[in-house]
Structure 1
Amino acid sequence: MENLPKTESPGEIIRGLIRAQDRATLATKMRAGQETVEGVGAPYASLVLMGSGPDAAPLLLLSTLADHTKNLLADPVCSLMVDGTKGLTDPLTGARATLQGRLEKTDDRGLMERYIRRHPSAAMYAGFGDFSLYRMSVQRAHLVAGFGRIHWVGAEDVLYDMAGSGDLAQQEGGVVDHMNDDHGDAVGLYANVLLNRPGVGWRMTGVDPEGADLRRDGDIARLAFDKPVSDAESARVELVRLVKRARKG
């Protein structure tokens, strides 16, 4: 996120941060019975692994054994900080966003599958009885994208409007499996050539209207589309166009 295009709106920058990151800092309010010197409601921050839905709404897989989940069950209001400053000489020049809203359980199987593709290690405990997927209903977000670029943004400008893109959400798994099973070389070219990310073994983990997510072991990368796609066929056209660009070097 070092070179943020000046043409991007604050909401688009925040959405890009959510899609590009795989972890965040979750802040919940301490529940009754866990009083501190400040009393019930004192802030409690913790590291969480984050995925996102096709609309970029954050997704977290949480255990009821964790303090942050116990806090959420008492009061789902929370904040989530997404940090895009990694690798910068001066982190304060980079983009980061604090999302405010509510985290609540979802039984959406498609979102669970999307989260597990993003975080393969989650597959071994996603079925445990104490684990559930939570989706954040974003109410607003605060962006700091370097000195002088500070904005409060409403949810309507952060999340992607999926109207007309429902087919892609339903077809995503098939698109991802097809690319990994039949076009692994293309996925490697996306990472190595278009994103300048070295190494072999890159796999696609997700496709949404604005781009595709890639992963290699613990590394992740975000491949942005030049124009939005709405279904498997338009995603195929865009992915073919991008691999042609990569082969030209």
Structure 2
Amino acid sequence: MAIDPIRPTDATARGLAKTLLRSTRSAALATLTREGHPFASLTSLATDVDGTPLILISALSGHTGNLEADPRASLLLAPGGKGDPLAHPRITLQVRAQKVERDSAEGRRIRRRFLARQPRASLYADFPDFSFFALRLGRASLNGGFGKAYELEAADLVSDCTQAQALIEAEEGAVAHMNADHADAVRLYATALLGAKDGAWRISGLDPDGCDLSLGDKVLRLNFDEPVTSPDALRKTLVALAAKARAGS
């Protein structure tokens, strides 16, 4: 009797998949040429508030023309680590690319979040040939290491933002406030809660499920114990995390 290599999707698999999605800064993007041949390239990556992958690409690049002709694509996130690369978690996402209107509220939010994750992109983000694309999630294949394979749906990966409009609107101000007035707490989130080396860590993004921390090219994901959907709930969660970090530092 054949053994099914795919494990049942559980909370651990969902958590690992979301962490990979939220904390990976670059990915292999595979598009389809007009002849139908797979075409893989490297792209910088960020996420929208709900976890939708975001890319910034030039009209002069081959993958841009491919996506405009056929929006279907695949995205491989494989941060790797020491030793055998196949022993580390990675995830392959099936996506459909959608060009983002720059002057829309969504476009302004996406530009801000992308540049917070990829600050060097500010050098060319506003060039006329560059555009932001949102990669709408479909199914995903997660490999958590040897013998840990899972098949996931979009709902397993994205954050539920249906009741979080107030949080989305407050995110930019909350990020600025934490970085300007509570840098010590942010540093403790990284060092005391996530075991990172000390440094001038900053929050680059907030969402219902957690916050993204950055220091240079290093990115960390701090997941909340419970989803938050309002600015007040966010404030209480961040205060509680700071207290936990100070108690354990």
TM-score by length of 1: 0.89
* Equivalent residue, structure 2, for 1:37: none
* Equivalent residue, structure 1, for 2:6: none
- Measure, in 1, the Cα distance between the counterparts of 2:126 and 2:232: 32
Equivalent of 1:42 in 20, 37, 52 = 37
Structure 2: gaps spanning 5 or more residues: 1-8
Cα deviations across residues 2-51 of structure 1 (Å, max 9, x unaligned)?
xxxx96253443222101111111001123xxxxxxxx121111111110
What letter is aligned with 2:60? L
* Equivalent residue, structure 2, for 1:61: 56
Kindly tell me: are residues 7 and 150 of structure 1, through their superposed partners in 2, closer, same or farther at Cα, counting changes over 3 Å? closer
Q: Superposed, which structure 2 residues align to 1:207-226 within 5 Å?
A: 207-226=206-225
* Equivalent residue, structure 2, for 1:132: 131
1:76 aligns with 2:82: no
Equivalent of 2:88 in 80, 94, 116 = 94
Cα deviations across residues 79-102 of structure 1 (Å, max 9, x unaligned)?
001114x22433323221111121
What letter is aligned with 2:114? Y
* Equivalent residue, structure 2, for 1:21: 24
SS in 2 for 1:226: coil
* Equivalent residue, structure 2, for 1:36: none
- Using the TM superposition, give the Cα deviation of residue 53 of structure 1 relative to its aligned residue in structure 2, in angstroms: 1.1
- Measure, in 2, the Cα distance between the counterparts of 1:221 and 1:21: 9
* Equivalent residue, structure 2, for 1:244: 243
- Using the TM superposition, give the Cα deviation of residue 134 of structure 1 relative to its aligned residue in structure 2, in angstroms: 0.5
1:111 aligns with 2:110: yes
SS in 1 for 2:203: strand
TM-score by length of 2: 0.89
How many residue pairs match? The answer is 235
* Equivalent residue, structure 2, for 1:149: 148
What letter is aligned with 1:198? K
What letter is aligned with 2:83? T
- Using the TM superposition, give the Cα deviation of residue 66 of structure 1 relative to its aligned residue in structure 2, in angstroms: 1.0
What letter is aligned with 2:209? E
- Measure, in 1, the Cα distance between the counterparts of 2:124 and 2:75: 23
Query: CA RMSD for the aligned pairs?
Result: 1.6
Structure 1: gaps spanning 5 or more residues: 1-5, 32-39
SS in 2 for 1:164: coil
